[in-house]
Amino acid sequence: MLTYANYAWVHYYSGNMDDRVKDSFQKALKGEPDNASFNVGYAIVLYGLEGMVSDKRVKSVMTAGANQLRKALSLEPDNSEVMVLLALNLQKDSPKDKQEAMKLIKEAPRPVS
């Protein structure tokens, strides 16, 4: 499973955000469904891929990316990157979702200076 995740991270950091990366994270998650790192990576990739092919007819909160961001956040509640990506996703929808987005942004940990 780690091999699939490593493959996915290498391609992700190389700027190759495509279905190969998504598929590799999916394979890694089949073996370790509660691995926080795999879930975070998969959420980030789904968020990026969905942003590339946005369908305005589908509410952002109902997408696989939004669901995966929520799962990743449940496994890593202090992950500021996931908080901000979920907030950006939520901002696109209803006022209630925008309120949740603002709450997430305010709660996102900030680096200590």
Q: Domain for residue 73, yes or no?
A: yes
| Domain enclosing residue 31, as ranges | 2-107
CA-based angle 95:72:89, to the nearest 5?
30
Per-residue pLDDT 10s for the chain (113 aa) are 778 988 898 988 888 878 899 999 999 999 999 999 999 999 999 998 887 655 555 556 568 898 999 999 999 999 999 999 999 888 877 778 888 888 988 888 776 55
> Is 112 a member of any domain?
no
Q: What is the amino acid identity at position 72?
A: A
Q: How many domains does the chain have?
A: 1
Q: Please tell me the pTM assigned to this model.
A: 0.81
For residue 76, the domain's CATH number is 1.25.40.10
What CA–CA distance (Å, rounded) separates 91 from 24? 29
Torsion sign, CA atoms 24, 30, 32, 34: positive
What is the rounded CA–CA span in Å between residue 26 and residue 7?
A: 12
Contact 95, 102 (CB under 8 A): no
Residue 41 exposed, middle or buried by CB count within 10 Å (0-12, 13-18, 19+): buried
Q: Are residues 34 and 70 in contact, defined by beta-carbon separation less than 8 angstroms? A: no
State which amino acid sits at residue 10: V
Q: Is residue 113 part of a domain?
A: no
Assigned domain for 90 exists: yes
